Amino acid sequence: MSFYRIYTGDDGQSHLEELDMKFAPFTDVEGAFGVGTELFPSKGITFRVAEAGYELQWHCAPRKQFTISLSGTAEIEVGDGTKQIVNAGDVLLAEDLTGQGHITRVISKEPRVHAVVHL
């Protein structure tokens, strides 16, 4: 499984890269087992709905955060012109806290529902 990371480069622009999540075997205290990621400490989670046609022009992430798309489709554009389609099930790590930022557009006909995990 992979996720997308948006970060601020030395040029002050936001850039996007696709990274692999690192999975390792685990057994939890109640007996659940399988493979999973490390525990990511978080400060909270919120669920948001962005209507079809929503567009947020150049902006930086307000904090380091994961965005997990639950439904709908968004397009993320970064400073070098790269555009990434984000569908239900996709995970985005936003770390571009300074600089030009990125654009977020909902491009599906239905709203985009997503969870935002504050890190």
Q: What is the pLDDT of residues 54-83, one digit of tens each?
A: 999 999 999 999 999 999 999 999 998 999
State the Cα–Cα distance between residues 60 and 3, nearest whole angstrom: 19
pLDDT tens column, 10-65: 999 999 999 999 999 999 999 999 999 999 999 999 999 999 999 999 999 999 99
pTM over 0.75: yes
Question: Which token pair is 7?
Answer: 């970060």
- Decide if domain 2-118 falls under CATH 2.60.120.10: yes
